Amino acid sequence: LGSSGVSAFQVAKRIRKGDRVLVLGGSGGVGTYLVQLAKLNGASYVASTTSHPERLTALGCVDRVVNYETEDVMAVDEFNKDPFDTVIDLACSDWRKLLRSSIVKSGFAGGRFFTLNDRAEFELHSVPQAVFTLLLPNVWRNVVTFVDRSRPRYRYVLAIDGPSRDNLRAMVDLVSQGKVRAVVDPTGPFPFTTEGVRAAFHLQKSRHAYGKVVVDVSPLDAPPQPIDAASSASS
């Protein structure tokens, strides 16, 4: 909840009541929270892309699931005839192609495109590198789509901004009330061993995990470990 849940909460606050929403990559850690929050925040219709349609369907809050391995989301007739108000990209999609497509409304009609990250992998080792890699490209796209309203408005969401403590408290309340489900990839939990941790990281890096990838560091039913008095005293 502290990372993916809060990130999804930050993005979901941008959804307007009655919006038709498309989430690209809705079956990951952030996506599984976001598709649920979209409906709670008043979205009239929620669609999402994934490589495992049955998993998103099981959440019961997605109106249309598109398997991106067999179907091009930008070629879906339904979406072209009735475009989305808001597209949220969690899959590092080709934003240029999306902004030129007809599945999202123009800026004149209130169409918006949000992304948390415009590239799958990158490294930042300095402030200037962060400015040139993340800040400037996204500011430029924001300005261009503000001027050119024939395209949906591009927005980069820094998901760690805002009162994170309040957002975390809100997410905990939603989960405890049963309004939002925390989804854990069925492959796990992985054991806290070298092989287990490697397998967890490989699954995470594959970008095909369902929900959160969990490593079981200390099983809840594990008996308490006795304290070695001699070693405790020497330490």
Q: What's the DSSP call for residue 101? A: S
Residue pair 115/156 in contact (Cβ under 8 Å)? The answer is yes
| Cα distance between residue 228 and residue 235, in whole Å | 11
| Cα distance between residue 153 and residue 86, in whole Å | 9
| Cα distance between residue 46 and residue 55, in whole Å | 15
- The owner of tokens 């929620």 is 46
| Cα distance between residue 182 and residue 172, in whole Å | 10
- The amino acid sitting at 108 is F
Per-residue pLDDT of the chain (235 residues; tens, 9 = 90+): 677 888 888 888 899 999 999 999 888 888 899 999 999 999 999 999 888 888 888 888 899 999 988 999 999 999 999 999 999 998 877 778 888 888 999 999 999 999 887 655 556 667 776 666 667 777 888 888 888 888 898 888 875 555 577 888 888 888 888 898 888 887 878 889 888 889 888 887 777 777 778 888 876 665 555 544 444 444 4
User: Interhelix angle for 4-12 vs 29-40, to 10°?
Assistant: 40
- The reported pLDDT for the residue numbered 123 is 64
- The reported pLDDT for the residue numbered 135 is 75
Handedness of CA 167, 169, 174, 180 (dihedral sign): positive
- The reported pLDDT for the residue numbered 229 is 46
| Cα distance between residue 158 and residue 11, in whole Å | 9
